[in-house]
Structure formats: structure tokens, C-alpha cells
């Protein structure tokens, strides 16, 4: 496990979240619902919402063990007899509707997603069902239940996407922007790799080093943007203050860092010796270097020095019928190859704009 001090040295910057008064005012006494609350980012968003004075936080996840671990971490008990800990699949519209009606959240942070790139390349249907259909379900529930703000957690892989993960998360951004202007202030927040998150580079690296295993890296020149979990969640809180009409916000993560350089820094920190590295080659859908913006996107500044904005109209849009058809195909068992083609077609810039009045058409 990477300590905060180690993370700060690895990234060579201050990683502690700093909140403005607006974030505290936004969260104060509010009812907050976090999807994917058992995950690394979702749990930290929930934790910071409590620190900022949220009146009540609902923790929603489909992983019961993750909910048990979260309750144990936050409250020292793991009985799961607290109604705020909710077991639910975000693709289940009827369960989501019931939970929103009962919880009546005013702010929703949507962190639930499938995120492991190689796995999703082989299972695009699962990616579509969770990242696209699930986001559509949560977005619709926010509109229909009068939620004040809906914040969709995205990824830098949604910029100029080359993978199933990136394409489905890009569509999730477009689904989010499509519900703007319907009474809920909405936005997506895009950021890169998170140090220490479940299944990410450094937990794997630490295990490989401790076990005397060969460290596997895709390419000697591969680079990524990195943040810590508290740093990313803190900036998500700041971005939620800015949320308005479907913007995509991009967090300043510092310069892109070569993975090999970061590994060498970590090895020096922990005093490891005789490290063996094997280069395995880039996997399908992977980029050598990640992007923060599409070539067609224009970055604009915001009131926050570490948050940039991409306007929804710059990001392009997708017709409601196209989203509906894609989700239907994913549920119907269309072949992985065909589904990847459909995804690639959809994320190509198009001129079909989803009008607000068409929400009921794709609500299904």
C-alpha cells in the first residue's frame, strides 16, 4: 500500500485535497448518493462528502463485500443493517427508481463503472451495459426525481478513445450532457490513472516486488497521467461546484509520466533490489500515451486553477435511438466484434443532437 508521503514524492507535488468555501456550502446538510461507493474513487468521494458536512450519504454498490468493507472502514462495524448501504445494480431501472424515491438525494456522484481495459476489450457487452446503460439509468433517475446535481465520473481514456473502455465512457459523457437543461445541473469529470486504486499499477507492482516476481510493463516508453485517490476525489468535489449544463471537466494531473520512470522511483523509495522487468507489448485498445482532449476539443479555463472545461457542444452528441439500439444489442448478445464496430461508429463526431424533449424517448 502506498502511503501519502510516498505518493507525494512519486508525483513530486502536494496531493492533499484543498476545498474552497463553495464546496463546503454545496455539500452542507445535503443528501448525497454515491454509485460505485465500494470502489476506490467512490468510497473516497463518499468519505469526503461526509467530511464536507453532508447530512446523509447513501452508499450504492453491487458488490456486497465492498459495502461491508466500506462500512467497517467508516464506522467500525460491518453488520450492513444500515439503510444507507444499498446493494443495487445500476442497470436495474426499477431498483434504481425505488432507491431514488426513498433516498431523495439532492446530489449524485456516479462512480460505478467497469474500468479494466483488456477485460472490456473481450467483453464489450458488459462495458456497454454498465458504462452506458447504467449511466443512462442513473441520469434518468436524477431528472425524474428532481436531483439538484449529477456528477458523472469519467476517464482520460474517453478522449479520442481507442478502446472499448474509452468509447463506453465517452458515450457516458454524452449521455450525461444530453440531460442538461432538464432541471438538474449535470457534468462529467475526466481524469487519468489513480495511484493505489483497486487493480491499478501500484498494488500490482508492490505485490510483484514483495513476491520476487518479474514486473511486467507493456512498453518502455508508455506514459500515463497519475493522481492519488484523495487528490482526484477532492477535485471532483470542486468540479461539482462548477457543474451546470453538461460540461466535461478535465482535471490537471500534472505532466504525463513514463510508467518505467515511476516504477524506478517507487523501487528507490521502498529499497527494492534486483528488479526484473519484462516488456509485454501494448494490448488491444491501449495507447502508448494517453490524451486529455480530443483533437477537436477546445480547452477553456474555469474559476478553479486545476480544472479545465470542454463544452458539451464541442464534445459532439449521439441520437437517443442510437443509444437505445446499442444497449439493446448489448443485452441481446450481439457478437463482441460487431459491438466494437457499433461503438466506434457512435463515438465518431456526428451532427445528431439529442434535444432535451427527447429524454422520454430514450428513457425506455
Does residue 115 have an active-site annotation?
Answer: no
**Residue 190, C-alpha cell as written in the block:** 475526466
CB atoms within 10 A of CB 295: 7
Query: Cα separation of 270 and 206, whole Å?
Result: 9
Place of cell 458523472: 152
Query: Cα separation of 185 and 243, whole Å?
Result: 6
Active-site residue identified among 115, 157, 169, 287: 157
Residues recognised as catalytic: 157
Amino acid at each position: 500500500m502506498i502511503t501519502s508521503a510516498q505518493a507525494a514524492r512519486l508525483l513530486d507535488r502536494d496531493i492533499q485535497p484543498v476545498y474552497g468555501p463553495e464546496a463546503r456550502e454545496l455539500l452542507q446538510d445535503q443528501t448525497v448518493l454515491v454509485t460505485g461507493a465500494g470502489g476506490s474513487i467512490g468510497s473516497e468521494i463518499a468519505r469526503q462528502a461526509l467530511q464536507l458536512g453532508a447530512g446523509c450519504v447513501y452508499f450504492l454498490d453491487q458488490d456486497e463485500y465492498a459495502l461491508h468493507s466500506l462500512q467497517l472502514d467508516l464506522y467500525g462495524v460491518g453488520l450492513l443493517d444500515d439503510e444507507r448501504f444499498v446493494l443495487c445494480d445500476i442497470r436495474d431501472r426499477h431498483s434504481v427508481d425505488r432507491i431514488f424515491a426513498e433516498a431523495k438525494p439532492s446530489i449524485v456522484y456516479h462512480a460505478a463503472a467497469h474500468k479494466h481495459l483488456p477485460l472490456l476489450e473481450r467483453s464489450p457487452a458488459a462495458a456497454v451495459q454498465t458504462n452506458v446503460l447504467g449511466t443512462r439509468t442513473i441520469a434518468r433517475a436524477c431528472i425524474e426525481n428532481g436531483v439538484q446535481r449529477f456528477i458523472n465520473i469519467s476517464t482520460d481514456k474517453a478522449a479520442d478513445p481507442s478502446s472499448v473502455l474509452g468509447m463506453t465512457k465517452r458515450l457516458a459523457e454524452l449521455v450525461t450532457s444530453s440531460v442538461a437543461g432538464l432541471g438538474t445541473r449535470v457534468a462529467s469529470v475526466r481524469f487519468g490513472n489513480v495511484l493505489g486504486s483497486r487493480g491499478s499499477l501500484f498494488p500490482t507492482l508492490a505485490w510483484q516486488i514483495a513476491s520476487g516476481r518479474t514486473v511486467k510493463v507493456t512498453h518502455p516508453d508508455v506514459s500515463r497521467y497519475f493522481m492519488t485517490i484523495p487528490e482526484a476525489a477532492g477535485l471532483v468535489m470542486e468540479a461539482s461546484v462548477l457543474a451546470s449544463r453538461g460540461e466535461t471537466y478535465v482535471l490537471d494531473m500534472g505532466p504525463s509520466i513514463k510508467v518505467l520512470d515511476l516504477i524506478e522511483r517507487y523501487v528507490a523509495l521502498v529499497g527494492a533490489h534486483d528488479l526484473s522487468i519484462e516488456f509485454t507489448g501494448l494490448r488491444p485498445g491501449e495507447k502508448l500515451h494517453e490524451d486529455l482532449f480530443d483533437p477537436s476539443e477546445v480547452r477553456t479555463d474555469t474559476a478553479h486553477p486545476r480544472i479545465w472545461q470542454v463544452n458539451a457542444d464541442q464534445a459532439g452528441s449521439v441520437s437517443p435511438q442510437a443509444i437505445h439500439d446499442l444497449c439493446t444489442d448489448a443485452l441481446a448478445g450481439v457478437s463482441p466484434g460487431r459491438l466494437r464496430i457499433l461503438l466506434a461508429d457512435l463515438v465518431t463526431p456526428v451532427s445528431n443532437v439529442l434535444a432535451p424533449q427527447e429524454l422520454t424517448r430514450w428513457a425506455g
